[in-house]
Structure 1
Amino acid sequence: MKKILLIVDPGIDDSFAIMYALLSPKIDIVGIVCQFGNVSREDALRNSSFLLNLARREDIPLINGASAPLSGLPPEHYYDIHGTHGMGELNIKNTMFKNIYPFHKIYDLITKYGKDLTIVSLSPLTSLALTYLHAGSNIRDVKEIFVMGGAFLVPGNASHLAEANIYGDPHAAKIVTTHGEGITFVPLNVSHRSIVSKEMIHYLSLQTDAPFSPILKPLMDYYSEQYQLSMPGINGAPLHDVTLLSILTNEDHYTTVNRQIFVDTDDLTKGLTHADFRPVPEMVDDHPINKIVLDINVEHLLNDFMKVMNSSS
């Protein structure tokens, strides 16, 4: 069982990922860092609390993450896609926050779990970047780091060039790609193929006795309706963040390539991620090498999603 520290900005997609992680027999969530992104940090805390309450897992600490990008500019949220508070049309505004910790809790968890800990970033990379910048950081003591972010040789979703998590704070992403090494990036190249259909979700909502079954259908119905605007004819929606978690726990069903990753912060190319994909890439001195997931077994991923979400614990 993998012990993971989640960094999230739920949002419907992240909410499905949190539910998946809570139900997976291969994952033990030891903490959830809530930050800005799809929604504000306050809504991220509320939405995460709501899901933990449903699962009766209030023992999992929630951690205050970043509230804005490193540029100091106001954050860009995506309430138009995720709903008034980020959970579609669900009314969760009265959810009580419990067990909230300051940012330093991240370092305490790293000290406690060390090489048994995997950090999973499903949001803009601000909180992750800050862990590298702290003078007393022990981030290099963790086992591994996975990031949902980037778009290589494909269009973006926040702009024609950039994927949303990188676009949300390109300066933070640049810090992570220049200070981190061996990080696994799960980009749009693969995650946009992980389309969970409305029929799959409707089946789960009727068949599973998991604590989340009542909210699955309304969340996906709302999310799919928003995706229709950018992907006409889609029946469901790609669950980008679930893709990462399935990759994390099913290591024989994806392929990676090791490359130096670069992030643009200029206005015209903000959030663009690029790498040298030639057979013999030209290496930049002192720039670390990270991993990029290039392909996945989509059928296995969807079967894994249905199996995990159809469980009750």
Structure 2
Amino acid sequence: MGKILLIADPGVDDSFAIMYALLNPNIEVMGIACGYGNVSQADALRNSAYLLKLAGREDIPLINGAEAPLTGLPPQYFYEIHGYHGIGGLNTEHITPAKVYPFQKIYDLISTYGKELTIVNLSRFTTLALTFVQAGSNIHDAGEIIVMGGAFLVPGNSSPLAEANVYGDPQAAKIVAAQGRGITFIPLNVSNRAIVSLDIIHDLSEQTATPFSPILKPIMEYYSMQYQSIIPGINGAPLHDVTLLSFLTNEDHYKLVHRQIFVVDDGPSRGLTYADFRPVPEIIPHYPINKIVIDFNVKYFVNDFVKTMSSL
């Protein structure tokens, strides 16, 4: 069973990723660090606490992540896409997390589990970047790091060039790309195609009996309605963040390349991620080579999602 620390900002697709992780028998969630992004850090904590309560997993620690980007700019939220409280048509304003751990808890989990602990970053890169730059960091003692971020040779979703998690704090993404060792980036190249239809969600809602079955429709119906204005006729929505958990448990169905990854942190191209995709790339000395997922088996992803979301 794979032990993971989630860094999340739920957000609809983050919420589905959390549900997937809690239902998947091959994943053991050791903590959720809540940062800003799709929603404020406070709403991320509330939404995560709500999902843990539904699952009867309030033993999983919630951790204070970043509240704002390293750029010094105010954070930009996306409630219009994710819902008034960030979790579709649901209201979580009545939820108060029983306990929230300080940032140090991330280092404590790494100390306890070491290479057994995979860090899965679903949100803006700020919280993850801080784990690299703070004094006493033990981030290199952790196991694999998987991040949702980037757009390589495809359009962005926060700008013509930039994906949202990178665009929201390009300085933090630049730190992660420059200091990480073998980090796996799952970009929009993949996640934009991880579309789950409303029909599938309706079937899961009506034919399964997990703790999350009753909330699937109000979450996804809202999210899908917003996506209709972005991608007319989509009949569902891409569940970007679920791809990271599916990759973690089904790597054989994902295609990777190894490249040095660079991030533009200012100017008209702010948030652009790029790599040298020539057959013989130029390698810059003393700069890490990370991994980029460039393709995946869409049918397998959808089937895996249905199977996991149907299980108890």
Alignment partner of 1:50: what SS? helix
Alignment partner of 1:3: what SS? strand
C-alpha RMSD of the superposition: 0.6
The equivalent of 1:244 in structure 2 is 244
The equivalent of 2:218 in structure 1 is 218
Alignment of 1:5-24 (within 5 A): 5-24=5-24
Which amino acid is the alignment partner of residue 227 of structure 1? Y
Alignment partner of 2:28: what SS? strand
The equivalent of 1:134 in structure 2 is 134
Number of residue pairs the alignment of both structures matches: 312
CA distance, structure 2, for counterparts of residue 133 and residue 52 of structure 1:
30
The equivalent of 2:174 in structure 1 is 174
CA distance, structure 1, for counterparts of residue 269 and residue 128 of structure 2:
22
Residue deviations 1:264-306 (CA, integer Å, cap 9, x gap): 0112011000000001001112111000001101111110000
The runs of at least 4 aligned residues of structure 1 exceeding 3 Å deviation read: none
The equivalent of 1:98 in structure 2 is 98
Q: 8 Å contact 1:59–1:99 — kept in the other structure?
A: no
The equivalent of 1:65 in structure 2 is 65
TM-score, with length taken from structure 2: 0.99
The equivalent of 2:84 in structure 1 is 84
Alignment of 1:156-305 (within 5 A): 156-305=156-305
Which amino acid is the alignment partner of residue 134 of structure 1? Q
CA distance, structure 1, for counterparts of residue 93 and residue 248 of structure 2:
32
TM-score, with length taken from structure 1: 0.99
Q: 8 Å contact 1:193–1:298 — kept in the other structure?
A: yes
Q: 8 Å contact 1:257–1:292 — kept in the other structure?
A: yes
Alignment partner of 2:251: what SS? coil
Alignment partner of 1:252: what SS? helix
Q: CA deviation at 1:176?
A: 0.3
Q: CA deviation at 1:87?
A: 1.1
CA distance, structure 2, for counterparts of residue 21 and residue 36 of structure 1:
20
CA distance, structure 2, for counterparts of residue 115 and residue 78 of structure 1:
34
Quick one: percent identity of the two aligned structures?
68
Q: 8 Å contact 1:58–1:99 — kept in the other structure?
A: no
Q: 8 Å contact 1:125–1:173 — kept in the other structure?
A: yes
- Structure 1 gap segments, 5+ residues each: none
Residue deviations 1:131-186 (CA, integer Å, cap 9, x gap): 00012110001111000000000000011100000001000000000000100000
Q: CA deviation at 1:99?
A: 2.4
Q: CA deviation at 1:130?
A: 0.3
The equivalent of 1:114 in structure 2 is 114
